[in-house]
Amino acid sequence: MSDQVTLTQFIIEQQRGLPDASGTFTLLLNNIVTACKQISNRVNRGALIGVLGSAGTENVQGEVQKKLDIITHDIMVRALNWSGQVGGMASEETDDPIKVPTQYPKGKYLVLFDPLDGSSNIDINLTVGTIFSILRCREGMDPETEDFLRKGNEQVCAGFVLYGPSTMLVITTGKGVNGFTLDQDVGEFILTHRNMRIPEETDEFAINMSNQRFWEPPVQQYIDECVTGVDGVRSKNFNMRWVASLVADVYRILTRGGIFLYPADLRDPSKPGKLRLMYEANPMAFIIEQAGGVCTTGREAILDIKPQTIHQRVPLILGSKTEVERITDYYSQYDQANT
């Protein structure tokens, strides 16, 4: 007998003993995972099946959609809408939440997802991923947009799948973070990274330096000190990485520590940062905090934000505790000096 633990076994064992566990959540997760295996297959076959390149359309953020943005969105919706576990869905790729078709029963979970994170990397064959966030809702309800607008600390589960050299699933249900690798030969996610923990100390940062001239002073100060290295107040040298796929940058931080910043900048006050609260920041914050890291806007914990709109953007700073706390100190010192 193999001693490998499959994702299904792991989740069933985690749920066992919970007072209200009915198996619905395990079924829901299985459907999400089936969708991600299909996405992994499409991403992997790429040009062979003609799925690379632009679709020629724009999403609600005004970003040009790739063919795979649309294909992966459809895969997620079709995997979930018939199942009876889901009350409604929200996707980064559509303006409004997606309703369960009338012929199907409505379940007790809401699923929010970024079907293909980092899709600007797809045509250059770099790592991309799928991010998801699960909330509870009243069974049988037909949720309106407001029903999705809940704080990140209400999530019951968050995860992402990384389509990289290995296809990997990283997931939390609020009891730590675990990583699973897809065994392509048998089609199962196998537990390979138990109880992932982020080192508290780090000397690696991730930020898109091309935006430097637009950053607020606390970010300028923090990055300047990193770059000055042993010659400055930090007394150590820093390394920089920027994959430009949030999933890949977060995975690196989960495995070897680091700090990731996509801060607010001074260009357009209506766009505070680039990343989306509901599809990116909230699920990543749940995962990072469950792995012992910290996730903030610089001024507020991501998981405490009351969302105003479904596609809301937020500044996002996450990673190793000591570094994230250092920059939040810089923000509060700056704000105190300027009020």
Q: Which residues bind ligand F6P (CB under 6 A)?
A: 117-118, 120, 208, 244-246, 249, 274-275
Question: Which one among 69, 114, 188, 289 touches Mn ion, defined by CB under 5 A?
Answer: 114
Q: x/- site string to Mn ion, residues 56 to 95, per CB under 5 A?
A: ----------------------------------------
Most distant CA atoms of the chain, gap in Å: 66
Q: Is 203 labelled a binding residue? A: no
Which residues lie across from 204 on neighbouring strands? Answer: 239
Please check if 335 is assigned to a binding site. no
Q: Annotation-wise, does 114 bind a ligand?
A: yes
Determine the residue type at 116.
L
Q: Locate all alpha helices (DSSP H) within the chain, ordered by sequence.
A: 7-15, 24-45, 67-80, 145-148, 217-228, 246-256, 282-290, 321-337
* Closest alpha carbon to 202 in 158, 246, 261: 261
List the single partner that 285 binds among Mn ion, ligand F6P, none, CB under 5 to 8 Å by kind: none
Q: How far apart are CB 15 and Mn ion at their closest, in Å? A: 29
CA distance 293 to 322: 9
Any known ligand binding at 92? yes
Q: Which residues pair with 317 in a beta bridge?
A: 261, 296
Q: Is 116 annotated as a binding residue?
A: yes
Binding at 313: pick from ligand F6P, Mn ion, none (beta carbon under 5-8 Å per type): none
Spatial distance between the Cα atoms of 143 and 90, rounded to a whole number of angstroms = 10
100 vs 284 by CB, closer to ligand F6P: 284
Give the shortest CB-259-to-ligand F6P separation in angstroms.
13
Q: Which does residue 245 touch among Mn ion, ligand F6P, none (CB within 5 to 8 A, set by kind)?
A: ligand F6P
Residue 160's nearest CA partner among 110, 114, 196, 108 is: 114
Question: Nearest approach, Cβ of 220 to ligand F6P (angstroms)?
Answer: 17
| Residues 134, 190: Cα–Cα separation, whole Å | 21
Q: Is 40 annotated in some ligand binding site?
A: no
Q: Do strands 86-91 and 109-117 pair parallel, antiparallel, or not at all (unpaired)? A: parallel
∠182-184-185 over CA atoms, to 5°? 130
- Choose from Mn ion, ligand F6P, none: what does 244 bind? Cβ within 5-8 Å by kind: ligand F6P
Calpha distance 217→37 (Å, rounded): 43
CB of residue 71 to ligand F6P, shortest distance in Å: 17
Q: Can you give the C-alpha Rg of the chain in angstroms? A: 20
Task: Report, in Å, the least distance between residue 276 CB and Mn ion.
Answer: 7
Kindly tell me the sign of the dihedral angle through the C-alpha atoms of 270, 271, 273, 279: positive
Piece in contact with Mn ion (CB under 5 A), picked from 115-123, 159-167, 180-188, 317-325: 115-123
Size of the site for Mn ion (CB under 5 A): 2
Query: How near is the Cβ of 240 to ligand F6P at its closest, in Å?
Result: 13
Task: Decide whether 195 or 208 has the Cβ nearer to ligand F6P.
Answer: 208
95 is in an annotated binding site: no
Q: In the set 69, 93, 117, 289, which binds Mn ion (CB under 5 A)?
A: 117
- Kindly give, in sequence order, each residue whose CB lies less than 8 Å from that of residue 13, ignoring residues fewer than 6 positions away: none
Does 117 appear as a known binding residue?
yes
Instruction: Please indicate if the annotation marks 120 as binding a ligand.
Output: yes
296 binds, among ligand F6P, Mn ion, none (CB under 5 to 8 A by kind): none
Structure tokens at 157: 């589960």
Positions at the binding site for Mg(2+): 92, 114, 116-117, 280
Positions at the binding site: 92, 114, 116-120, 208, 274, 280
Binding site for Mn ion (CB under 5 A): 114, 117
